[in-house]
Amino acid sequence: MSTTTTHPVPERGTSPWGAGRVVLLVVGSLASLIAFALLMAGLMVALAHVTARDSAGFYTSPSERFSTQTYALTAEGMQIGDIRGDGADWALDAFDATVRVRASAPNGDPVFIGIAREQAVDRYLAQSAHEEISDVHGGPFSYDSVRRGGSGVPGLPAAAKFWAASSSGPGTQAVTWKPDVGRWAVVVMNADRSPGVAADISLGAKSGAVLPVGFSLLGVGLLGLAAAVGLIVLAVRERAGRP
């Protein structure tokens, strides 16, 4: 007596999931996730360019109160470029950035804002007490500062010649500055150099590269998504079987 074993035959017209097709599917899926992230980033940048700027085109921080009993408030250590002071020219040209600092005294008294190289500011305030802001925290707003000692009275700030950009007067004062290679500092004082500085300060920035970057991200994301869809379709498509 003999026994016959029947083995099922796969249907014609289907193709197995080989290693190549699995790799295509995995690569296509990962590429689609990256492309979607680029699309969302490009969309957010483009929307921010349209909705988050003020009438002058600046992205502006909220105005916050800073105060000191000394002669000046400073923010130092803004390094642009490497330690030797070079290597950033191409980036400055590409981003075409402009920085704006606004300040106003709560009582409307004349206020001074100046931006200069850090070494010049250090020489100017070397003998005068001032407060250096080292860090700013949000939610709720607070900041860390270091008080620098000194018993001398600084010269009138508006009379100094080393400022790269400055503004002085009553009410709200604003300084706009095109960043340059080097190490820089921002100084806020009473215009008459008297001690006891209180000012509502906000920072703003704008760049001609924001919208092109947003469009570039959108374009790369769309191309990446199209390529990813092509890989996924290629991986899951069934090959026609031979007759």
Q: Which residues contact 89 (CB under 8 A, 6 or more apart)?
A: 81, 181
Residue with tokens 């689609």: 32
Say if residue 128's pLDDT is above 80: yes
Average pLDDT over residues 197-224: 82
Q: Cβ–Cβ contacts within 10 Å for residue 14, how many?
A: 10
Which of these, 102, 64, 61, 93, lies nearest to 186 by C-alpha position?
102
Question: Are residues 88 and 180 both part of a single domain?
Answer: yes
Percent of the chain predicted with pLDDT > 90: 40
Q: What is the pLDDT of residue 243?
A: 46
Question: Are residues 166 and 231 both part of a single domain?
Answer: no
Give the pLDDT confidence of 129-178 residue by residue, as tens digits: 999 998 888 778 889 999 998 889 999 999 999 999 999 999 999 999 98
Residue with tokens 């996924």: 232
41 within domain boundaries: yes
Question: Are residues 158 and 187 both part of a single domain?
Answer: yes
CA distances, 77 to each of 66, 100, 145, 179 (Å): 18, 17, 13, 13
Residue 200 main-chain phi, psi, to 5 deg: -90, 115
CATH number at residue 128: 2.60.120
Say if residue 4's pLDDT is above 60: no
Question: Are residues 216 and 99 both part of a single domain?
Answer: no
Residue with tokens 């300040």: 103
**In which domain, by residue range, is 220 found?**
19-51+211-236
pTM: 0.69
Question: Are residues 141 and 69 both part of a single domain?
Answer: yes
Helix (H, G, I), strand (E, B) or coil at 52: coil
Question: Are residues 93 and 195 both part of a single domain?
Answer: yes
Band of pLDDT at residue 7, cut at 50, 70 and 90? low
13 within domain boundaries: no
Band of pLDDT at residue 82, cut at 50, 70 and 90? low
Structural domain total, the chain: 2
Average pLDDT over residues 93-99: 71
Say if residue 72's pLDDT is above 90: yes
Question: Are residues 108 and 161 both part of a single domain?
Answer: yes
Question: Are residues 184 and 224 both part of a single domain?
Answer: no
